[in-house]
Amino acid sequence: MNSLFQLISLRNAANLKNLAGPILVVMILAMMVLPLPPFLLDILFTFNISLSVIVLMLSINTTKPLEFSSFPAVILITTLLRLSLNVASARVVLLRGHEGEDAAGKVIGSFGHFLVGGNYTIGIVVFIILVIINFYVITHGAHRIAQVGARFTLDAMPGKQMAIDADLNSGLIGEDEAKRRRAELSQEADFFGAMDGAAAFVVRDAMAGVMVMLINIIGGLIVGVLQHGLDIGVAAKTYTLLTIGDGLVAQIPSLMISTAAGLMVARVGADENVSQQFLTQLFTNPQILLLVAIIIGGLGIVPGMPHFPFILIAGSMALLSYFRNRIAAAAKIPAPAPEAPVQETQEVSWDDVAAVDVLSLDVGYRLISLVDKAQDGDLLKRIKGIRKKFAQDIGFLPPSVHIRDNLELKPNGYRISLNGVEVGSGDVYPGMHLAINPGRVTGTLPGAVTKDPAFGLPAVWIESALREQAQIHGYTVVDASTVVATHLNHLIHKHASELLGREELQKLLDHISRDIPKLVEDLTPKLVPLSVVQKVLQNLLDEDIPIRDMRSILETMIDQGARTQDVDELTMYVRARLSRSIAQQIAPKANEIQVIAIDPKLEKILLQAVQTGAGTEPAIEPGLMDSLIREAGSVVENQERMGISPVLLVPSQLRMLLSKFLRRTIPQLKVLSHTEVPDTKSIKVTAVLGGRA
């Protein structure tokens, strides 16, 4: 029974939430038509001021605009509320203004009497000043910032989407995180687009305030003099004070909303709110504070100047500078290092022989912060993500990456080694960002020109403050950790076959045997040696073919293992079994594979060479092979220029030979045999190789 009551209560609460918006809008619109008593007007004016303060405080304390994503709608509702109150108060002022200053309620009377001293001339001046500040400064500036922010956000979307795709492809984030970031990016664009339109409401609201004031004053004079027989001086004073009070009650909340709109669209950075940025960036430099104290103190001792306020502020600035210096000096004092324990001399043993790490990452001392969790380094987390993504995509778990600092490297340098041999290196700068040119940027950036260490693309190291500008120009912007992680991910994929050692293969087979133990038992070591299985898998990895489908691979090797133990032949049969996977990788969405064919005359020459050199290396003339490689490079370049993935289709007897020769100089060229094209894909010849041979 209690559960039933709780369920009903939850449903009722949800229904009330859904009805709150429509009820509020209907009530606001009703205020324009229905007459309201002065007491209710006082409550609504007070609520309007409170609502404006809430909006202002929220805008100050949010760290990024999407935390207050309903702000454009709030602007519309609050503007509509103020206009409705203006209509309702104007009705009351004109109907009951002849009764005195409190005829339209205590709030309007207080603003008209106390805030401007009961002097309607002063009230008009103060009101006009507020309108000028609100309209010409705050609302106009907020509207302009919203326009520029909307345009820059839309221009930066392609670069930000490319950065998300790069993180996803390198394994730094998962699909869920990528979806969340894309949704947040879309919401950010929608927010600034909505703010561009909502800011227009604020601008027009300020203009409407002046027009309403003039109409109320003129209407009040007409009603007071002609209808109620008041003296023109009394009517002018009474209705003007009430109108000024009414205008001030509306303009002060309008000023707060305009300020909140400016703060929401003018903020830079997403880690601190406005208060934190104000304190941490304005009052942290002790040298600046001391210089200000000297300048203000100098002005304070000039004859004729008010000494007390200048000396007071100068002393406060000097005191703040002193404490900031003390804090900075304390932060620089290193903690005392613990005394190293005295160790006894030990004999040299086999324990002193260190094994070579399969994968290692050496970093300079300035890059230690990237791998130190105490300094918010996230490189270790990124490397774990890379290994997980690699295991999911390729089909086996790569060895762990051993990370160590190396004083022999440059302070900002790093080195990636495979089996103790360097395979990649580069320089990165913590606290800065690398803006990579993908080939279609629209501007240049100030910074250190370099190249992306992973793919060799032109790039430039920029300050973090230029990140948004770089994305607007079409650059792919990444931080130092992402640069190292992307480079490592690229090299792991490039050397995947070398990472599949005997130990990794045995662990892979042990993992598979939990689900399909019979296949593993029938294959090795009874039928095919473990070394042959390893070489077949390495052949697949050399040509970027994942080995996730181990069931098909093992079944094929069992079927053909009794007939042959030749690694190349077994690889050929396995590739034919994986034809659909290979075709899907080449043409994931098309039903047609565009290929480069080989000229029949050249094909005949190569087949004869393969048959002549059976059991040995094929007897191919060096000049013919050099000519073939040059022509293949030219054809592949033309294919890529047309946006076609280069694929060479050859007979199965030639596939392994041409793949080995061409892969060295044209790694992007895929070599397929006729048996590797599945029935679900059709073939379209886009070029012929060897027609000039």
pLDDT in tens, 400-414: 999 988 888 999 999
For 59, counting Cβ atoms within 10 Å of its Cβ (0-12 exposed, 13-18 middle, 19+ buried), the class is buried
Run of H or E including 437: none
Higher pLDDT, 447 or 267: 447
Candidates 199, 251, 207; CA nearest to 49 is: 251
Q: Does residue 525 have a cis bond before it (omega within 30 degrees)?
A: yes
Q: What's the rounded Cα separation, in Å, for the pair 185 and 160?
A: 8
Q: Is the pTM of this model over 0.75?
A: no
% of the chain beyond a pLDDT of 90: 22
Q: What's the rounded Cα separation, in Å, for the pair 219 and 27?
A: 26
Q: What's the rounded Cα separation, in Å, for the pair 139 and 147?
A: 12
Write down the pLDDT at residue 693: 43
Span 56-61, average pLDDT: 78
| DSSP 3-state of 600 | helix
- Binned at pLDDT 50, 70 and 90, residue 225 comes out as low
Question: Tokens for 41?
Answer: 């007007």
Span 571-596, average pLDDT: 89
- Greatest mean pLDDT among 50-64, 364-378, 384-398 lies in 384-398
Span 596-625, average pLDDT: 77
Would the pLDDT of 435 be above 90? yes
- Binned at pLDDT 50, 70 and 90, residue 616 comes out as low
- Give DSSP secondary structure letters for 277-331: HHHHHHS--HHHHHHHHHHHHHHHTSTTS-HHHHHHHHHHHHHHHHHHHHHHHHH
Write down the pLDDT at residue 7: 46
- Binned at pLDDT 50, 70 and 90, residue 335 comes out as low
Q: Please state which of the ranges 7-16, 347-356, 540-549 shows the lowest mean pLDDT.
A: 7-16
Q: Please state which of the ranges 100-104, 143-147, 150-154, 367-371 shows the lowest mean pLDDT.
A: 100-104
Span 311-334, average pLDDT: 74
Phi, psi for 384 (deg, rounded to 5): -60, -40
| DSSP 3-state of 192 | helix
Would the pLDDT of 219 be above 90? no
Pairing of β 458-463 and β 432-436: antiparallel
Question: Tokens for 465?
Answer: 């403050």
% of the chain beyond a pLDDT of 70: 73
Higher pLDDT, 299 or 571: 571
| DSSP 3-state of 597 | strand
- Greatest mean pLDDT among 112-116, 194-198, 316-320, 327-331 lies in 316-320
Would the pLDDT of 621 be above 90? no
- Binned at pLDDT 50, 70 and 90, residue 424 comes out as very high
Helix axes 38-61, 232-266, angle to 10 degrees: 20
How many Å is the Cα radius of gyration of the chain? 38
Question: Tokens for 96?
Answer: 């009951």
Write down the pLDDT at residue 117: 60
Span 516-528, average pLDDT: 88
pLDDT tens digits, residue range 71-89? Answer: 777 777 777 777 777 777 7
Write down the pLDDT at residue 97: 60
Length, in residues, of the chain: 693
Q: Please state which of the ranges 261-270, 594-603, 616-625 shows the lowest mean pLDDT.
A: 261-270
Residue found under tokens 């762990």:
400
Run of H or E including 448: strand 448-451
- Greatest mean pLDDT among 1-10, 245-254, 374-383, 570-579 lies in 570-579
For the chain, what is the mean pLDDT? 79
Phi/psi zone of residue 615: left (φ > 0), alpha (ψ -120 to 50 degrees), beta?
left
Candidates 145, 125, 279; CA nearest to 199 is: 145
pLDDT tens digits, residue range 652-679? Answer: 888 888 888 888 888 889 999 988 998 8
Span 420-433, average pLDDT: 93
Would the pLDDT of 681 be above 80? yes
Sign of CA dihedral 206, 210, 215, 220: positive
Write down the pLDDT at residue 10: 47
Question: Tokens for 542?
Answer: 């050399």
Write down the pLDDT at residue 423: 94
Pairing of β 359-363 and β 401-405: parallel
Write down the pLDDT at residue 89: 73
Write down the pLDDT at residue 5: 46
| DSSP 3-state of 534 | helix
Would the pLDDT of 229 be above 50? yes
Span 222-246, average pLDDT: 68
Q: Are 646 and 685 in contact (CB under 8 A)?
A: no
Q: What's the rounded Cα separation, in Å, for the pair 595 and 688?
A: 9
Would the pLDDT of 171 be above 70? no
Would the pLDDT of 533 be above 70? yes
Run of H or E including 124: helix 120-132
Write down the pLDDT at residue 663: 84
Q: What does the CA dihedral 176, 180, 186, 191 come to, rounded to 10 degrees?
A: 170
Q: Roughly how many angstroms between the first and final C-alpha of the chain, as a whole number?
A: 89
Q: What's the rounded Cα separation, in Å, for the pair 590 and 117?
A: 79
Span 569-581, average pLDDT: 92
Write down the pLDDT at residue 150: 65
Would the pLDDT of 278 be above 60? no
Report CA-CA distances (Å) from 392 to 313, 317, 462, 547: 63, 59, 34, 10
Sign of CA dihedral 332, 335, 341, 346: negative
Write down the pLDDT at residue 550: 93
Would the pLDDT of 136 be above 50? yes
Report CA-CA distances (Å) from 318 to 283, 307, 321, 482: 12, 16, 5, 43
Question: Tokens for 586?
Answer: 């080449």
Would the pLDDT of 164 be above 70? yes
Run of H or E including 588: none
Write down the pLDDT at residue 361: 94
Q: What's the rounded Cα separation, in Å, for the pair 77 and 257?
A: 11
